[in-house]
């Protein structure tokens, strides 16, 4: 089975891991090499696995997570022991929170030494540390168990609610040998790793009955619905029922954002006014104000249907009257067969009121987008991005930042499913370049990364990775000189304020250092030209888009989550 081990009848841990991954169609590894996995990365590459080597494990981990979301196969991140493992762990925990399937494989030091805490090279009990932060964690000690270890990792990542899995491979394992034939037989090709979970017929009836009685129904699509790859059925359900829908940010494009039934431009109105809300792969977490409070209108009026694969998600924040447990594809298709041809569309009083508000808000937005302030505002720059995405609907948009995120989410329409990757459930900064690399590598489509200047900094060094693999990634840094805005002042003088960066930094020049295209854009025309060229050439490009440093607000649209001090600010003597 392998070429470069000593005896033709022998195989070893290196090759068994490679063969187990290949057997299961896992053809890409995102990694940072080092002891004990350097040789593994070479051997994997030599055996035809695509090995994408990063500058920091967190970004390799984020790439694996995004690959998992896009492909429904667990993304593989490979790291060295202790510090490399810890660097990858944030991505693993984030993937688990977002329900993205990935496997973090880390090499680890000698068990005997680690367990006696005798101070090995990069000593750490990685398995114990990973366990509470992911869906499942396994360690393989014997070469003959590699097949089982990889199979368990794949199943754990993909089945039920997907998530992150940790797989600990001690250094010694790689060099262990065994009979090649027995080795081959020990590998497992995982059959049906994400089995369908058919909803119980009575739960389908309960949901349909509640939906049927609704006067002001609303469908909420979450990223679970996007992950499910049940696009045609979801669209059919929305269109056949005629129910207005709201996409959560990564569900944008499941139906085109320009769809007549999208209520996105009347979000506050529909959340407050709807009487029955059907959640499809969306959780009632902080992003939906936990399903209660002012956002949701009059107290205790809302009735919920929730489609989720995890029964324990139900009633997590408010009472769910009609839980529908199963995989989203099966649940949606069961609802579709239940609605029949005679389904009454929602009353026009409801849909008409939504359209009225939508039209008003959209024309207000259109007027703002037409303005051409100098320097550019978030809106004027994003109007260019919106137009570019409209002409390239297959491009994948990666988005992070605070204002840069919030404005982009509402301004940039998406037209196809799974084309938007962003900060997700945690609102985490640092996903940008890892997600962009994965999107380009696993789809081959152009990628547009819309990055706040702070957000970009978390993974900025990966522009070298993007240039090295010559990926069709166009990064647009929304440069407003800081976190939220660039205008804060330290009342004592001296150091600059904590939210402020170097003024007028030239991120475009960073890109040029690695042979990529760097463009400094101060107007809409410059931005449009640079983005269009980036997409048509497919060359790695970074556009430094200069944004008004006074334009943002603290934390974008989630200002209210900041705790407020009750103490009055101390009077300080300002320097003369
Ligand atoms: C890992 C992590 N660290 C810190 C934060 C806090 N945070 C939220 S948004 C943000 C950056 C916002 O600035 P920028 O990306 O420039 O966007 P802008 O609002 O200026 O457009 C930071 C640091 C976070 N969300 N995640
Ligand atoms: Mg900024």
Q: How far is the CA of 485 from the centre of ligand 1 (A)?
A: 11
* Cβ–Cβ under 8 Å, residues 545 and 478: yes
CA of 198 to the centre of ligand 2 (A): 46
Task: State the closest ligand 1 atom to the C-alpha of 458, by its place in the atom list counted from 1.
Answer: 1
Q: Which residues pair with 306 in a beta bridge?
A: 279, 323
Q: Is the CB of 501 under 6 A from ligand 1?
A: no
Res 340: pLDDT: 85
179: CB partners within 8 A, 6+ apart:
9, 10, 11
Block means of pLDDT (10 residues each) for the chain, 576 residues, are: 62 98 98 97 98 98 99 98 98 98 97 93 96 98 98 98 98 97 98 98 98 97 98 98 98 98 98 98 97 94 97 98 98 96 95 98 95 97 98 98 98 98 98 99 98 98 98 98 97 97 98 98 98 98 98 90 84 58
Q: For residues 479 and 545, is the Cβ–Cβ distance under 8 A? A: yes
The helix (H) or strand (E) run that includes residue 394 is none
- Going by C-alpha positions, the residue among 405, 466, 458 that lies closest to residue 436 is 466
Query: What residues pair up with 28 in beta bridges, in sequence order?
Result: 50
Answer positive or negative: Cα dihedral of 483, 486, 492, 495: positive
Strand 396-400 versus strand 420-422 pairing type: parallel
At residue 529, φ and ψ (nearest 5 deg) are -60, -45
- Ligand 1 pocket, residue 478 CB under 6 Å: yes
Sheet with 396-400, edge to edge strand ranges: 420-422, 396-400, 447-452, 473-479, 541-546, 517-521
18 lines ligand 1 (CB under 6 A): no
Q: Cα-flanking dihedrals φ and ψ of residue 295, to 5°?
A: -55, -35
Instruction: Please give the distance, rounded to the nearest whole angstrom, from the Cα atom of residue 477 to the centre of ligand 2.
Output: 9
Which residues, other chains included, contact 269 with Cβ-Cβ below 8 Å and sequence gap of 6+?
Answer: 263, 353, 354, 357
Pocket test for ligand 1, best of 406, 429, 507, 561 (most atoms within 8 A of CB): 429
Secondary-structure percent of the chain, ordered helix, strand, coil, rounded to 5: 45, 15, 40
- Report pLDDT for 158: 98
How many angstroms does the Cα of residue 357 sit away from the middle of ligand 2?
31
Q: Return the residue matching tokens 């993937």.
A: 95
Ligand with minimal distance to 91 CA? 1
- Give the DSSP per-residue string, 288-339: GGGG-SGGG-STT--EEEEEES-GGGTTSSS--SEEEES-HHHHHHHHHHHH
Quick check: 168 and 137 in contact, CB under 8 A? yes
Check residue 246 and report its DSSP letter.
Answer: E
Torsion over CA: 379, 385, 389, 395 (sign) = negative
Q: Give which of 546, 572, 163 is closest to 374, Cα–Cα.
A: 546
24 Cβ inside 6 Å of ligand 1 = no
C-beta separation of 482 from 508 below 8 A: no
Instruction: Give the H or E element holding residue 218.
Output: strand 217-221
Task: Indicate which atom in ligand 1 lies nearest the CA of residue 480.
Answer: 20
Q: Which of 402, 425, 432, 557 to mutate for ligand 1's pocket (most ligand atoms within 8 Å of CB)?
A: 402
- Give Cα separations from 488 to 302, 442, 485, 498, 559 (angstroms): 42, 41, 7, 8, 16
Cα 263 from Cα 218, distance rounded (Å):
9
Q: Which residues contact 391 (CB under 8 A, 6 or more apart)?
A: none
- Backbone angles phi and psi of 305, in degrees to 5: -110, 135
The values of phi and psi at residue 428, to 5°, are -90, 135
What is the distance between the alpha carbons of residues 71 and 44, in angstroms, rounded to a whole number? Answer: 21
Q: What is the pLDDT of residue 196?
A: 97
Q: Say which residue the tokens 């990757």 belong to.
A: 421
Q: Which pLDDT value is given to residue 341?
A: 84
- Helix H, strand E, coil C: the string for 43-109 is HHHHCCCEEEECCCHHHHHHHHHHHHHHHCCCEEEEECCHHHHHHHHHHHHHHHHHCCCEEEEEEEC
Angle CA(377)–CA(380)–CA(382) in degrees, nearest 5? 105
Name the strands in the sheet holding 136-139, side by side, starting at the edge strand that comes first in the sequence: 50-53, 28-31, 75-79, 102-108, 164-170, 136-139
- CA dist., res. 513 & res. 152, Å (int): 43
pLDDT value of position 574: 57
Residues facing residue 448 across a β-bridge: 397, 474
For residue 8, what pLDDT is reported?
65
Q: Are 65 and 34 in contact (CB under 8 A)?
A: no
Contact 543, 519 (CB under 8 A): yes
Q: Which has the closest alpha carbon to 73: 157, 192, 150?
A: 157
Ligand 1 contact, 552 CB (< 6 A): yes
CA gyration radius, the chain? 25
């Amino acid at each position: 089975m392998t070429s470069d081990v000593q005896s033709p009848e022998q195989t070893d841990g290196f090759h068994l891991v490679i063969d187990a991954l290949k057997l299961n169609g896992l053809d890409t590894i995102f990694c940072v090499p080092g002891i004990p996995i350097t040789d593994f990365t070479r051997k994997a590459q030599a055996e035809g696995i695509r090995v994408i080597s990063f500058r920091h494990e967190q970004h390799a981990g984020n790439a694996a997570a995004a690959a998992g979301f896009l492909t429904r196969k667990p993304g593989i991140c490979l790291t060295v022991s202790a510090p490399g493992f810890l660097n990858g762990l944030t991505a693993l925990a984030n993937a688990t929170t977002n329900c993205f399937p990935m496997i973090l494989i880390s090499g680890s030091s000698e068990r005997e030494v680690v367990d006696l805490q005798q101070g090995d090279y990069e000593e750490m009990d990685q398995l114990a540390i990973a366990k509470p932060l992911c869906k499942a964690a396994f360690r393989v000690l014997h070469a003959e168990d590699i097949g089982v270890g990889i199979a368990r990792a794949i199943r754990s990542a993909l089945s039920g609610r997907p998530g992150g899995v940790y797989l600990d491979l001690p250094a010694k394992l790689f060099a262990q040998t065994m009979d090649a034939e027995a080795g081959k037989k020990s590998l497992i090709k995982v059959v049906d790793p994400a089995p369908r979970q058919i909803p119980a017929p009575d739960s389908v009836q309960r949901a349909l009955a509640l939906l049927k009685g609704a006067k002001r129904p609303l469908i909420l699509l979450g990223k679970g619905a996007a992950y499910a790859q049940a696009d045609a059925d979801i669209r059919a359900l929305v269109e056949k029922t005629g129910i207005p829908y709201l996409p959560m940010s990564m569900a944008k494009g499941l139906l085109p954002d320009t769809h007549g039934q999208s209520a996105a431009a009347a979000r506050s109105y529909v959340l407050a006014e709807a009487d029955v809300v059907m959640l499809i792969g969306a959780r009632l977490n902080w992003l939906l104000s936990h399903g209660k409070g002012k956002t949701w209108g009059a107290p205790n009026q809302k009735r919920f249907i929730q489609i989720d694969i995890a029964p324990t998600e139900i009633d997590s924040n408010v009472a769910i009257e009609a839980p529908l447990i199963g995989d989203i594809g099966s649940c949606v298709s069961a609802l579709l067969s239940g609605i029949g041809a005679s389904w009454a569309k929602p009353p026009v009083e409801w849909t008409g009121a939504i359209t009225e508000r939508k039209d008003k808000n959209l024309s207000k937005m259109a007027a703002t987008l037409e303005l051409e302030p100098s320097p550019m505002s978030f809106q004027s720059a994003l109007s260019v991005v919106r137009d570019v995405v409209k002409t390239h609907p297959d491009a994948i948009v990666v988005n992070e930042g605070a204002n840069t995120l919030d404005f982009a989410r509402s301004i940039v329409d998406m037209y196809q499913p799974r084309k938007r990757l962003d900060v997700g459930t945690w609102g985490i900064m640092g996903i940008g370049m890892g997600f962009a690399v994965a999107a380009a590598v696993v789809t081959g489509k152009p990628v547009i990364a819309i990055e706040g200047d702070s957000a970009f900094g978390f993974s900025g060094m990966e522009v070298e990775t993007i240039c090295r693999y010559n990926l069709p990634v166009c990064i647009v840094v929304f440069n407003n000189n800081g976190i939220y805005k660039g205008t804060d002042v330290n009342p004592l003088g001296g150091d600059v304020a904590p939210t402020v960066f170097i003024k007028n930094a030239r991120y475009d020049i960073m890109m040029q250092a690695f042979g990529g295209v760097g463009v400094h854009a101060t107007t809409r025309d410059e931005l449009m030209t640079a983005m269009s060229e980036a997409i048509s050439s497919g060359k790695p490009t970074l556009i430094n888009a200069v944004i008004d440093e006074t334009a943002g607000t603290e934390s974008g649209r989630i200002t209210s989550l900041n705790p407020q001090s009750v103490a009055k600010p101390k009077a300080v003597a300002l320097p003369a």
